[in-house]
Each structure stands twice: as C-alpha cells, then as structure tokens.
C-alpha cells in the first residue's frame, strides 16, 4: 500500500515508529507536513498539493495532527476524505476529541464515567460552579491545552475563585472538575486500536506535582487494567469515533473515570513502558481498514 503520515515533524519518535512499522510490512510511506499542504477545494474531487505536487494515489492516510494546529490539520484530513481515501482517524472525530467540553458532553451522554465537571461563562457564577463539583480542592482546565499545560489545582475555595476569575478575565474558557484524591497523582493511559486496548501504562506524577504527564517528569510503568477500565477506554474511543486513541483514566472509588481522549497519542512512553509494538498494531489496523475501503459497495 501507499501510505501518507501527516505530521509536522518526521523525526519525532511516533512518526519514525509508524514509518518503520509500515516499511517493515512492505508499504510505501511518505511523511507530509500538513501545514505546508494547500487545498484545491473547488474541483469536484478536491485535491491536496504538497511541495507543488498533487498528493494522489494513497491507499491510507494516518493523521498526526498537533493540538495547536487542529483547525488547519483537520481541513487537510477532510480534503483527503472527499477523495475517498481511507483516513485512520477522521476529521470530525479529531475535532470532537480536541474540544474538551464537547468531548465531556458526548461521554456523559453515553453514560461513561467522568469526574464531576462544570462549565460557565460568567465570573459571577464562580462560587456556584465550585460548589457544583463538590467544593475545593478542584482542578481547573483550559479548553485548549495539552501535555498538562493550562491545568491548575486550586486547593482552597478562595484560590479556586481567584483562578477562575483570572482565567475568565483573560476570556479563557475553562472546565472545573472535582479532584480525585484517591488517584494519588497517577492516571492510566490506555492505547486503543480498533476497539481493543493493545497497551496500558500507569503514569505517576513526581513529588509535589499532581499532573502525571511524562512531559512534566511523570514516571510510567506497565500496568494490568481491569475489565471495567478496559471497557471504559474502548467505549470512550468509540464515542469519539476514533479507531486509534489514547484514553486517560483515573482510578476512583466509584470506578474508572475518563479524563481525556487523545486522537494523536504519543507512542514513545507507552512502547517503552510496555514493550508492546503499538506502531505495528496501528499499521495492521490501517491495512485491514484500507483494504475494506477499496471494496466496491454492494447496491
């Protein structure tokens, strides 16, 4: 097959591993900087141009769209979709997962466990918002943020109100969530590929930090997850419409709670912690789906 990997940086671990796994299985692979693509959107079948050439003849596209470039990245993915090319994660699913508020609303509607979460516009509602999630301490999250950026733990009601008012004073949209103390500064990253958890790791925050992101010094180790945790991760990915997803869970007294669903999960941490060939699993899924995509539809 001929595969395009949409990535801003082909030297990142995830991009390299996906390319290696695809080449090892006999595929032709091109890495494409999606921000350098331009789109012909007026022709009956839209075209994507890159470095002056039309990108065509691809059997599959694997998007690795960064959070900072969701709008343009999903536009490029959508253009490939209009040509009938198989796309590993669709444009609407990527956009849905990147909008933390929309993501939470969809998961809640499906009955998937979440931390108690509130959202409001006016700073006059700060006290009520904090009370709605059970009072301090609370976690406050910017709607746009990744790798733990824009996430604050407010340990007292006064601190929570101050942070809330400061964020809203900057016209920032934030979610307010209950703090799950029993999680002990750890979470689970479950890598879902084709409605199956293929690898899972536990991330532990360093001393004095509540965010367990590896980019912030968190430590990762392989973990055995329960059937409830496995089901929660698979259901969350399916609710977002993502065949490939990193689902972050908290272990709480009332069961697994979904923190986030990531449409472009990094592979370095989870492959290193678990020894699982996640990249190979992703390419195997792409092979199966791309072949099915080529079959003529029955009338």
Phi then psi for residue 121, to 5 deg, are -100, -45
Q: CA-to-CA distance for 278 and 91, rounded, in angstroms?
A: 22
Q: Are 193 and 156 in contact (CB under 8 A)?
A: no
Using DSSP's 3-state secondary structure scheme, residue 193 falls into strand
Sequential pLDDT tens for the chain (299 residues)? 999 999 999 999 999 999 999 999 999 999 999 999 999 988 677 799 999 899 999 999 999 999 899 999 999 999 999 989 999 999 999 999 998 899 999 999 999 999 999 887 776 777 888 888 888 888 888 876 555 567 888 888 888 888 887 877 777 788 888 988 888 888 999 999 999 999 999 988 766 555 555 555 567 799 999 999 999 999 999 999 999 999 999 999 999 999 999 999 999 999 999 999 999 999 999 999 998 875 433 33
Using DSSP's 3-state secondary structure scheme, residue 14 falls into helix
User: Within 13 A of 186's CA, how many CA atoms are on the CB side?
Assistant: 16
Q: How many residues belong to the chain? A: 299
The model carries a pTM of 0.88
CATH topology of domain 97-112+182-275: D-amino Acid Aminotransferase; Chain A, domain 1 (3.30.470)
83 alpha carbon, distance to own chain's centre: 25
Which CATH number is 2-89+284-294 given? 3.40.50.20
Q: Are 251 and 212 in contact (CB under 8 A)?
A: no
DSSP string, 97-128: HH-HHHHHHHHHHTT-----EE--S-GGGHHH
* Residue in 25, 84, 75 with CA at minimum distance from that of residue 292: 84
List the domain boundaries for the chain: 2-89+284-294, 97-112+182-275, 117-179
* From the candidate CATH numbers 3.30.1490.20, 3.40.50.10490, 1.20.1730.10, 3.40.50.300, the one assigned to the domain spanning 117-179: 3.30.1490.20
Answer whether 97-112+182-275 and 117-179 agree in fold: no
Q: CA-to-CA distance for 243 and 18, rounded, in angstroms?
A: 16
């Amino acid at each position: 097959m001929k595969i395009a990997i949409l990535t801003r940086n082909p030297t990142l671990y995830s991009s390299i591993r996906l390319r290696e796994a695809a080449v090892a299985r006999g595929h032709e692979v091109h890495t494409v900087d999606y921000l350098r693509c331009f789109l012909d959107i007026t022709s009956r079948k839209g075209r994507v141009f890159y470095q002056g050439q039309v990108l065509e003849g691809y059997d599959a596209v694997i998007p690795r769209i960064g959070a900072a470039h969701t709008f343009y990245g999903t536009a490029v993915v959508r253009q490939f979709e209009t040509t009938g090319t198989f796309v590993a994660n669709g444009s609407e699913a990527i956009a849905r997962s990147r909008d933390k508020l929309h993501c939470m609303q969809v998961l809640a509607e499906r009955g998937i466990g979440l931390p108690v979460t509130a959202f409001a516009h006016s700073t006059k509602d700060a006290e009520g918002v904090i009370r709605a999630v059970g009072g301090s301490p609370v976690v406050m999250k910017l709607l746009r943020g990744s790798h733990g950026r824009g996430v604050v733990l407010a340990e007292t009601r006064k601190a929570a109100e101050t942070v809330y008012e400061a964020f809203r004073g900057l016209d920032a949209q934030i979610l307010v969530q209950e703090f799950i103390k029993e999680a002990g500064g750890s979470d689970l990253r479950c890598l879902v590929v084709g409605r199956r958890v293929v690898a899972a790791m536990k991330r532990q925050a360093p001393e004095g930090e509540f965010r367990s992101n590896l980019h912030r010094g968190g430590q990762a180790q392989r973990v055995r997850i329960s059937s409830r945790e496995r089901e929660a991760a698979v259901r969350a990915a399916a609710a977002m419409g993502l065949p490939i997803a990193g689902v972050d869970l908290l272990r709480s007294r009332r069961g697994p709670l979904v923190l986030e669903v990531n449409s472009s999960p990094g592979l370095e941490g989870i492959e290193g912690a678990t020894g699982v060939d996640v990249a190979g699993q992703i390419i195997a899924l792409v092979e199966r789906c791309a072949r099915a995509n080529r079959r003529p539809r029955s009338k």
